Amino acid sequence: MRKSTHWAASLRSNIVRRVSKTTVFAALCLLLVLLAFLIYPFQQTIVPAWQLRIIDNHGSPVSEIKITEHWQHWLFEKDAHDDLRRPGPDGRVSFPERTMRTSILNGLVTRVHRRVTEDRYAKIEPAASVVVWGSKNHETTVAVYRIGELPPSEIIVRATR
Protein backbone atom coordinates (compact mmCIF):
# COMPACT_ATOMS: atom_id res chain seq x y z
CA MET A 1 0.00 0.00 0.00
CA ARG A 2 2.79 2.33 0.89
CA LYS A 3 4.55 1.70 -2.41
CA SER A 4 1.47 2.61 -4.45
CA THR A 5 0.98 5.84 -2.49
CA HIS A 6 4.58 6.83 -3.15
CA TRP A 7 4.15 5.99 -6.82
CA ALA A 8 0.97 8.10 -7.07
CA ALA A 9 2.60 11.05 -5.31
CA SER A 10 5.58 10.81 -7.64
CA LEU A 11 3.28 10.73 -10.66
CA ARG A 12 1.35 13.79 -9.43
CA SER A 13 4.61 15.63 -8.85
CA ASN A 14 5.83 14.83 -12.37
CA ILE A 15 2.51 15.91 -13.90
CA VAL A 16 2.55 19.20 -11.98
CA ARG A 17 6.16 19.79 -13.03
CA ARG A 18 5.35 19.07 -16.68
CA VAL A 19 2.21 21.19 -16.65
CA SER A 20 4.14 24.00 -15.08
CA LYS A 21 6.90 23.77 -17.72
CA THR A 22 4.31 23.53 -20.49
CA THR A 23 2.40 26.46 -19.09
CA VAL A 24 5.56 28.55 -18.74
CA PHE A 25 6.63 27.63 -22.27
CA ALA A 26 3.20 28.52 -23.67
CA ALA A 27 3.20 31.82 -21.77
CA LEU A 28 6.66 32.68 -23.07
CA CYS A 29 5.61 31.85 -26.63
CA LEU A 30 2.52 34.03 -26.24
CA LEU A 31 4.62 36.90 -24.88
CA LEU A 32 7.06 36.59 -27.80
CA VAL A 33 4.21 36.68 -30.33
CA LEU A 34 2.70 39.70 -28.56
CA LEU A 35 6.07 41.47 -28.47
CA ALA A 36 6.66 40.75 -32.16
CA PHE A 37 3.19 42.13 -32.94
CA LEU A 38 3.91 45.29 -30.92
CA ILE A 39 7.32 46.00 -32.48
CA TYR A 40 6.63 44.97 -36.10
CA PRO A 41 6.64 48.08 -38.31
CA PHE A 42 3.23 48.02 -40.00
CA GLN A 43 2.66 50.22 -43.03
CA GLN A 44 0.13 52.98 -42.68
CA THR A 45 -1.19 55.39 -45.27
CA ILE A 46 -0.70 59.08 -44.65
CA VAL A 47 -2.60 60.10 -47.78
CA PRO A 48 -4.03 57.85 -50.51
CA ALA A 49 -3.08 58.25 -54.15
CA TRP A 50 -4.39 61.61 -55.31
CA GLN A 51 -5.54 62.24 -58.89
CA LEU A 52 -6.48 65.82 -59.64
CA ARG A 53 -7.85 67.80 -62.52
CA ILE A 54 -7.08 71.50 -62.47
CA ILE A 55 -9.64 73.68 -64.26
CA ASP A 56 -10.39 77.38 -64.46
CA ASN A 57 -13.73 78.97 -63.56
CA HIS A 58 -14.99 78.25 -67.12
CA GLY A 59 -14.24 74.50 -66.85
CA SER A 60 -11.20 74.58 -69.15
CA PRO A 61 -8.11 72.56 -68.12
CA VAL A 62 -5.18 74.57 -66.73
CA SER A 63 -1.75 73.15 -67.52
CA GLU A 64 0.59 76.13 -67.10
CA ILE A 65 0.62 76.00 -63.32
CA LYS A 66 2.53 74.27 -60.51
CA ILE A 67 1.04 71.85 -58.00
CA THR A 68 2.77 70.89 -54.77
CA GLU A 69 1.55 68.10 -52.54
CA HIS A 70 2.51 68.45 -48.87
CA TRP A 71 2.13 65.61 -46.35
CA GLN A 72 3.22 64.79 -42.84
CA HIS A 73 2.31 62.46 -40.00
CA TRP A 74 2.36 64.86 -37.08
CA LEU A 75 2.81 62.13 -34.51
CA PHE A 76 6.05 60.76 -35.98
CA GLU A 77 7.55 63.46 -38.21
CA LYS A 78 8.88 66.90 -37.35
CA ASP A 79 9.16 68.04 -40.97
CA ALA A 80 6.70 67.84 -43.83
CA HIS A 81 7.42 66.33 -47.23
CA ASP A 82 6.55 67.88 -50.56
CA ASP A 83 6.36 66.88 -54.20
CA LEU A 84 6.17 69.47 -56.98
CA ARG A 85 4.49 68.48 -60.25
CA ARG A 86 2.95 70.08 -63.32
CA PRO A 87 -0.33 68.95 -64.86
CA GLY A 88 -0.56 67.58 -68.37
CA PRO A 89 -2.32 69.42 -71.21
CA ASP A 90 -5.65 68.03 -69.94
CA GLY A 91 -5.06 69.63 -66.51
CA ARG A 92 -4.56 66.26 -64.82
CA VAL A 93 -1.86 65.40 -62.30
CA SER A 94 -1.37 62.35 -60.08
CA PHE A 95 0.42 61.88 -56.79
CA PRO A 96 1.18 58.38 -55.44
CA GLU A 97 0.00 57.00 -52.12
CA ARG A 98 2.13 58.32 -49.24
CA THR A 99 2.91 55.75 -46.57
CA MET A 100 5.19 55.18 -43.62
CA ARG A 101 6.09 52.22 -41.44
CA THR A 102 5.92 52.26 -37.66
CA SER A 103 5.17 49.83 -34.87
CA ILE A 104 2.14 49.83 -32.60
CA LEU A 105 4.45 50.15 -29.60
CA ASN A 106 6.16 53.20 -31.11
CA GLY A 107 2.75 54.72 -31.81
CA LEU A 108 1.56 54.19 -28.25
CA VAL A 109 4.76 55.47 -26.62
CA THR A 110 4.99 58.48 -28.94
CA ARG A 111 1.30 59.34 -28.47
CA VAL A 112 1.63 59.27 -24.67
CA HIS A 113 4.86 61.29 -24.80
CA ARG A 114 3.32 63.93 -27.07
CA ARG A 115 0.20 64.20 -24.90
CA VAL A 116 2.32 64.63 -21.76
CA THR A 117 4.77 67.14 -23.27
CA GLU A 118 2.41 69.08 -25.56
CA ASP A 119 -0.91 68.75 -23.73
CA ARG A 120 -4.17 67.76 -25.38
CA TYR A 121 -3.63 70.14 -28.30
CA ALA A 122 -0.76 68.10 -29.74
CA LYS A 123 -1.21 67.28 -33.42
CA ILE A 124 -1.07 63.51 -33.75
CA GLU A 125 -2.85 62.74 -37.03
CA PRO A 126 -1.57 62.62 -40.60
CA ALA A 127 -2.19 65.68 -42.78
CA ALA A 128 -1.95 66.40 -46.49
CA SER A 129 -2.78 69.18 -48.92
CA VAL A 130 -2.08 70.34 -52.43
CA VAL A 131 -1.25 73.90 -53.35
CA VAL A 132 -1.93 75.05 -56.91
CA TRP A 133 0.31 78.04 -57.58
CA GLY A 134 2.83 79.74 -59.85
CA SER A 135 0.60 81.19 -62.57
CA LYS A 136 0.36 84.90 -63.31
CA ASN A 137 -3.15 84.33 -64.66
CA HIS A 138 -4.61 82.29 -61.77
CA GLU A 139 -4.98 82.63 -58.02
CA THR A 140 -3.15 80.30 -55.67
CA THR A 141 -5.56 77.62 -54.43
CA VAL A 142 -5.29 75.02 -51.67
CA ALA A 143 -7.13 71.70 -51.26
CA VAL A 144 -6.90 69.75 -48.01
CA TYR A 145 -7.16 66.00 -47.55
CA ARG A 146 -9.30 64.96 -44.58
CA ILE A 147 -8.85 61.54 -42.98
CA GLY A 148 -11.64 59.16 -43.86
CA GLU A 149 -12.67 61.12 -46.97
CA LEU A 150 -11.59 60.85 -50.57
CA PRO A 151 -9.17 63.57 -51.64
CA PRO A 152 -10.74 66.25 -53.86
CA SER A 153 -10.50 65.20 -57.50
CA GLU A 154 -10.98 68.61 -59.07
CA ILE A 155 -9.64 72.02 -58.18
CA ILE A 156 -10.98 75.22 -59.69
CA VAL A 157 -8.45 78.02 -59.95
CA ARG A 158 -9.88 81.49 -60.45
CA ALA A 159 -8.49 83.78 -63.10
CA THR A 160 -6.71 86.90 -61.78
CA ARG A 161 -7.50 88.91 -64.90
Q: How many domains does the chain have?
A: 2
- Structural domain for 9, as ranges: 1-39
Of 108, 120, 118, 133, residue with least CA distance to 78: 118
Classify residue 131 by burial, with Cβ atoms within 10 Å: 0-12, 13-18, 19+.
middle
Identify whether residues 75 and 123 lie together within a single domain.
Answer: yes
Identify whether residues 107 and 70 lie together within a single domain.
Answer: yes
Identify whether residues 25 and 78 lie together within a single domain.
Answer: no
Identify whether residues 68 and 29 lie together within a single domain.
Answer: no
Residue pLDDT tens, the chain, 161 long: 455 567 777 766 776 666 677 888 888 999 999 999 999 999 999 999 999 999 999 999 999 999 999 999 999 998 999 999 999 999 999 999 999 999 999 999 998 888 888 877 778 889 999 999 999 999 999 999 999 899 999 999 998 87
